[in-house]
Amino acid sequence: MEKAYRGNSDQFFDPATSTLVIRGTHNTSDLLTDLTIPFGQLATTPRYIEASKALHKYKPRHILGHSLGAAIALQLNQQEHYTGQVTVYNAPVLATQPHARNVQDFSSYGDIISMLDTTAHRSGGLRDPVSAHYTYEH
């Protein structure tokens, strides 16, 4: 799982846990993708399309996303009618789905992007959500 957050790929599939991990914003292109969220255009972006392909290829039991990756995970959950577990960290408030039964939504105290999300579970200063999730779950 460490590869997902520290590597260069936008998503990573861990076959040991059947988890698709989708990374957050990490370059200028991603900043432009972030700007599509308020306008409902995230599903038209290359980041979403790549993640959708990975979802269909690997058929994971779990999707884990942080920040932009959380927004993509939530969109995949809705658009692709995903039935597995979705865990998101610091999802942009405009991307949250408070009524989705299969979504766990976490937000760090003080995170500017997700601080308006009143449905998220609050956690302490979470620097590396992928490693924290991996440690917690396993």
pLDDT tier at 95 (50, 70, 90 boundaries)?
low
- Amino acid identity of residue 62, one-letter, is H
Q: For the residues of 104-132, what is the DSSP string, one character each?
A: EEEEETT-TTTTT-TTSEEES--S-HHHH
Reply yes or no on whether the pLDDT at 127 is more than 90.
no
Taking phi over 0 as left and psi of -120 to 50 as alpha, with beta for the rest, 110 belongs to left
Residue 41 in contact with residue 71, Cβ under 8 Å?
no
Q: What is the mean pLDDT of residues 36-46?
A: 92
Task: Please give the mean pLDDT across all residues of the chain.
Answer: 79
pLDDT value of residue 136: 39
pLDDT tier at 114 (50, 70, 90 boundaries)?
low
Give the position of tokens 């308006």. 116
Q: At what angle do helices 68-79 and 46-58 cross, to 10 degrees?
A: 60
What percent of the chain clears pLDDT 70, i.e. is strictly above it?
Answer: 67
Give residue 17's Cα distance to chain centre.
16
Q: What is the DSSP letter of 16?
A: T
